[in-house]
């Protein structure tokens, strides 16, 4: 995915982190171009201490940012993706999966757990963009559906933090089926009168945006988020129209009613606690 100069000022990717190498003491910020101390960036939750640009966060870093200390209990299903199509581009799909697992230390792109936010019990699901772009295949669909089932049974709010490039093309129709599967699980959550808060980060696109990420009772965009279905170039070439310069930014999404609020990363936990306090969980409407 190509990131324009303007977008990089708000949200940046560090190549060392993308490769999973954690040994370097200093990292270069693509926003200001300065070398910054890695530990200082971590202390500020992935925000450049000099220019305020955002670095990508891993799933584990997202969890640490949002939940009460030592409250997270991983309940992710112990499953990994199969290769139903025997898919190969320049490399076999199974080889790409193994590479992503080695790079991230995760079996798949989705982490699910029970946790507390401001002492409110929640079921939290976080996707990790490092794992094949956080794309949604059959495993993500199963993990999210299972997470919503747990939330419905325990009457705990469900919080989803998305960082995804959309559906996983290597799984074909099996990937697209997860849009329906997760939407059906979300309906069960509604019937149980359990709130669902969707947090969209950079990026939240494609099939995930077109399905589960857009179905929250409350939708929050992290500042600097990229939110939309198809890419700018695809839309412009298809429609023959020139898109606004702020198209698919978090501000555009807010102005057009796609999200309810835009929140800075360092204030995201506080905002989630505030939102969750409004919901009387498990009561009839």
pLDDT for residue 76: 97
Question: Quick one: pLDDT at residue 27?
Answer: 86
pLDDT of residue 10: 43
List, for residues 50-87, the tens digit of each pLDDT value.
888 888 899 999 999 999 999 999 999 999 999 999 99
DSSP codes, 120-137: EEEEEEEE-TTTGGG-B-
Which pLDDT value is given to residue 17? 41
pLDDT in tens, 106-148: 999 999 999 999 999 999 999 999 999 999 999 999 999 999 9
Phi/psi class of residue 177: alpha, beta or left (left: φ > 0; alpha: ψ in -120 to 50)? alpha
At the topology level, CATH places domain 57-276 in 2-enoyl-CoA Hydratase; Chain A, domain 1 (3.90.226)
pLDDT over 90 (residue 38): no
Query: Global pTM?
Result: 0.88
**What is the percent of the chain with per-residue pLDDT over 90, rounded to a whole number?**
77
Residues 154, 160, 161, 162: what is their CA dihedral angle, to the nearest 10 degrees?
150
The string of pLDDT tens digits covering residues 225-245 is: 999 999 899 999 999 999 999
Domain segments of the chain as ranges? 1-56, 57-276
Q: What is the pLDDT of residue 19?
A: 36
- Residue pair 67/116 in contact (Cβ under 8 Å)? The answer is yes
């Amino acid at each position: 995915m190509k990131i324009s100069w303007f977008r990089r000022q708000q949200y940046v990717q560090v190549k060392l982190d993308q490769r999973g190498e954690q040994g370097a003491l200093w990292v270069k910020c693509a926003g200001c171009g300065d070398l910054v101390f890695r530990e200082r960036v971590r202390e500020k939750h992935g925000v450049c201490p000099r220019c305020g640009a955002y670095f990508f966060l891993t799933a584990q870093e997202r969890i640490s940012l949002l939940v009460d200390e030592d409250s997270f209990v991983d309940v992710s299903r112990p499953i990994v993706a199969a290769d139903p199509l025997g898919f190969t581009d320049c490399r076999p799909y199974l080889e790409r999966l193994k590479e992503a697992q080695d790079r991230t230390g995760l079996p798949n792109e989705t982490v699910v757990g029970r946790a507390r936010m401001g002492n409110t019990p929640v079921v939290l699901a976080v996707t990790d963009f490092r794992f094949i772009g956080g794309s949604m295949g059959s495993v993500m669909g199963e993990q999210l559906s299972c997470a919503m089932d747990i939330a419905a049974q325990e009457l705990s709010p469900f919080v989803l933090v998305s960082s995804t490039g959309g559906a996983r093309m290597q799984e074909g129709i099996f990937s697209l089926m997860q849009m329906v599967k997760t939407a059906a699980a979300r309906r069960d959550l509604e019937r149980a009168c359990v709130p669902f808060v969707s947090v969209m980060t950079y990026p939240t696109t494609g099939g995930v945006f077109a399905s589960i990420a857009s179905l929250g009772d409350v939708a929050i965009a992290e500042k600097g988020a990229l939110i939309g279905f198809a890419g700018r170039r695809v839309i412009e070439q298809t429609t023959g129209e020139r898109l606004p310069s702020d198209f698919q930014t978090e501000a555009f999404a807010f102005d057009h009613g796609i999200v309810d609020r835009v929140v800075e990363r360092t204030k995201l936990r506080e905002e989630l606690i505030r939102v969750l306090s409004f919901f009387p969980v498990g009561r009839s409407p």
